[in-house]
Amino acid sequence: MTTHASALEPQNDATSEEHDISSQYETPAPEPFISYNALKDRIRHHYEICSDYYYSLWGEHIHHGYFLEPTDTKEKAQLQLIELLLERSNLPIGSTVLDVGCGIGGTSRYLAKEHGCAVTGVTISGKQVETARRLSSEAIGATVVDKNESMVKLGDGSVQFLELDAEKMGDFFTTEPSKAAFDCVWISEAMSHLPNKELFFQNSALLLNPGGKLVVADWFKAEGLTEKQMDADIKPIEDGMLLPPLCDQSDYLNFADLTGLRVFAEPFDISEKVSKTWDISWSLIQSPALWAFAATQGRDGLAFFQAFRAMRRGFANGTFRYAVMAFQK
């Protein structure tokens, strides 16, 4: 379905909890789990349909903002999150980077232009690849250097984008040895979508150069939650955001240990500094046109929007967490 910009423009005149438009729509019951392949198909469909929406409301960076000051705009906060990851990982300038779950390429372009990185971005959505390539070629100072691979030079770095299931990246890149080694695997808010996270750590270890870094920002459940807390806060997020069961932060440390990656930067919980993202997001979707569009997408569309409320509640209750961390080969 084609979306139109006029239908996606945010309307902020009805943002109170008492009067928000969501009260006119039921929260769908969680979708029964069928298979991980079916979940991937739903994720792909979601991004094919909603990428224009994300770009319209959030711009090129489709990830949380790291709010350090009350006056920080969402745009500034999003860049501050990237800079925090660079700081925590101590990623060298000019690194070769595999940006997994790259969305429409905002982070990839930033790493290329501001950090001199040669970035390959991968996403499961062909629509996102198309948008990422277009935005990159239209960026200020961009030069297309390889039309066949759609490589674009930005500053001292470069970007290129591929449609690829992240769980197949090990096989994909090792079939071409010249492209199989990266200084960094970067994954921001995408690993929570992956059913087999241990496989992702294995593939990252396979593709990293010696000394290379795996840089992670992601969503987590808090440890030791009760069944009541899971039902109230976490399951609505998993369902609406199309996630397999969320991990806690220690799970990622265990996956790294099993695959021979050592901890370079311990998990740094920044939940309180990113939660404002969902206050802003909630205000941005108070538009009858947006909710009507969500309804046309069936239960997944409505569950997605209703999950915004669950995200805010989870952050407020401390059951839903956000952390960054880094590992080294």
Query: For 269-293, how does the pLDDT look when each residue is reduced to its tens digit (9 = 90+)?
Result: 999 999 999 999 888 878 787 777 7
Q: Which helix (H) or strand (E) holds 224?
A: none
Maximal CA-CA distance, the chain: 57
Residue type at 136? S
| Across 226-240, 270-284, 299-313, least confident range | 299-313
pLDDT at 197 over 90: yes
Which one is predicted more confidently, 111 or 40? 111
Could you tell me what percent of the chain has a pLDDT over 90? 62
DSSP-assigned letters across all residues of 237-301: HHHHTT-SSPPPHHHHHHHHHHTTPEEEEEEEE-HHHHTHHHHHHHHHT--HHHHHHHHHT-HHH
Residue with tokens 């940006």: 99
Residue type at 43? I
pLDDT at 2 over 70: no
pLDDT at 253 over 60: yes
Domains in the chain, CATH or no CATH each:
34-58+72-328 (3.40.50.150)
Contact call for residues 237 and 310 (beta carbons, < 8 A): yes
pLDDT at 52 over 70: no
Which one is predicted more confidently, 55 or 322? 322
Which one is predicted more confidently, 119 or 13? 119
Rounded CA separation 273/188 (Å): 16
CA 321 to chain CA centroid, nearest Å: 15
Rounded CA separation 232/210 (Å): 43
pLDDT at 147 over 70: no
Neighbours of 19 (CB within 10 A): 10
The strand ranges marked E within 127-277 are 143-146, 151-154, 157-163, 182-188, 208-221, 262-269
User: CB under 8 Å to 264, separation ≥6 — which residues?
Assistant: 89, 90, 213, 326, 327, 328
Backbone angles phi, psi at 120, to 5 degrees: -110, 115
| Across 155-169, 172-186, 194-208, least confident range | 172-186
